Chains A and B, each alone.
With several copies, the nearest count.
Chain A
Amino acid sequence: MATIEERQQEIISEFSMFDDWMQKYEYIIELGKDLPLLEEEKKSDDLLIKGCQSRVWLHADYANDGTIHFKADSDAIITKGLVSLVIRVLDGMPAKEIAQSDLHFVNDIGLSSHLSPTRSNGLASMIKQMKIYGLAKM
């Protein structure tokens, strides 16, 4: 199975093929549209991660082998696309690795503004929450 780092490199190389921001966003939007990540009835308030801008619902399943499986969704499509990339990177990884991960790919693919903790969007809060889930089972 690919490591967190390998998965990030995969995404980075995928994005390196795009010439401009427009193509990148088109791809992210497509990812966001393609992936209805969470059933409507699961979007309960206790799964809700509130950013000032977009909301994210995050669901975590702990497996017996110490790995964590995530499902998530967002009301904003760009956030949703990015969410699907983050899930792709962290889903099914061991708790400890999730807790210690450095999700540099969002920066590397040129979308750093979505990751900055000073931005009030849901993505940054979601990544933080995923690490907390990881920490809890370390």
Chain B
Amino acid sequence: MTTQDSIILPKAVDKLRDEFPILHQEVNGHPLVYLDNAATSQKPLSVVESITNYYLGYNANIHRGVHHLANLATEAFEKTRKKLAAFLNTPDQREIIFTSGTTDSINLVAQAWGRMNVHSGDEILVSMLEHHSNIVPWQMLAQEKGAVVRVIPITPKGEWDLTDLNQLVNAKTKIIAVNHVSNALGTINPIEILIAEAKKVGAKVLIDGAQSVVHFEVDVKALDCDFYCFSAHKLYGPTGVGVLYGKAEVLEAMAPYRGGGEMIHTVSFSGTTYNEIPHKFEAGTPNIEGIIAFGAAIDFATSLDKDFVQSHEHELLRYATEKLSSIEGLKIYGESENKVSVISFLVDGIHPYDLGTLLDHQGIAVRTGHHCTQPLMEHFGIPGTVRASFAVYNTIEEIDMLYNALLKAISMLK
């Protein structure tokens, strides 16, 4: 796709939508408008086909096989690791560990790294914008170890308030675990600042990239963070698969997480030795199908023209913000200048669940509720929001449909 093409956005998007058959359906008598992409993205045909090809052509258990199908499966499986290394820009494939999702990745670090390195009185720093998956594992660790979870506050716009950074990041800080992009508000967080600050005190940094990788390129070597993780299912890939990137030397020094097949070197009742990274952290039969399909998802993601994605998503966000802001009593939560294409909002005196229900009846799929960010909702003093999150395959017309459906819902509820 050339820059020329990307000017003719609607055409390019139409073509793209052909890859997503699920979008072409009616819901409750209306054309489906899928605006729940931050919860999970839809999957292009190539991803679905890679699953079918696997099961109809070369399904087998991997690594230990001597037969043809096992070789094909192993190669396809390991190819995804290679693709992910390139995707995140690390030259070292051993730094790519497959997990069952972002949540699993974070728990792996909280346990396998945390239990060795976090002690009584130590501090773990998260932010007010975190998803429960990047809060609870640290609370569990802190509780076991007698450590303290500290919280980066936010401004009314939904950005980190780094005024007290010197105090928040201190000699007791052992790890900083924050998201790159807030799933509830869409804020793109200045993680570079925290990574630099962490270096000063020797703290590790884990970045929850669940919401970032689908929107912009991430270079873990340029960022120089210790861990970066995300889920395949929010990046055109299947459910049940995630990635943990970790610096090789950090991973090597970590205890294993799950015990079982593949992660060992030798097992005996007199003593067991562990395999090298990445296998040390991949116990048991992995999600072979899912990881192979994840490879197809990465191919799809990297085949998209970066400028096109950026400009189209930017336009969707801009237009939606303009339209929604014009609705009386509608308040947008998350007003940073640095946002991905996500809009969280509430309408005066209307419960988000009521809005969501009436939008659904008009074919519009949005998410309502706390978005697994209860501390953030508590901070704003609200029960939750309505969240419309846009993907590259959404259109300007769909935002008009959202707008009209919203007006109708509000008129019914007011």
Contact = CB atoms under 8 A, between A and B. Distances in A.
Direct contact of A and B (CB under 8 A): yes
Contacts of A120: 63-64, 369
Interface string B350-376: 111110111001000000111000000
A118 B62 CA distance: 9
A55 B265 contact: no
Contacts, number: 62
B74 interface: yes
B28 A54 contact: no
A52 B369 contact: yes
A17 interface: no
Interface residues of A, number: 21
B16 interface: no
A78 B78 contact: no
Interface stretch (A20-28, A57-65, A97-105): A20-28
Contacts of A26: 412
Contacts of A53: 64, 66, 352-353, 356, 368-369, 384
A31 interface: no
Nearest to B73: A118
A116 interface: yes
Nearest to A75: B351
The 3 A-B residue pairs whose C-beta atoms are closest, nearest first, are: A76-B351, A53-B353, A76-B353
Interface of B: 28, 62-64, 66, 68, 71, 74-75, 77-78, 265-266, 350-354, 356-358, 361, 368-370, 383-384, 412-413
29 contacts: A25-B357, A25-B412, A26-B412, A29-B412, A50-B265, A50-B266, A52-B63, A52-B64, A52-B369, A52-B370, A53-B352, A53-B384, A54-B353, A76-B353, A77-B350, A77-B413, A78-B354, A78-B358, A79-B354, A113-B68, A116-B71, A116-B75, A118-B62, A118-B63, A118-B75, A118-B77, A118-B78, A120-B64, A121-B66
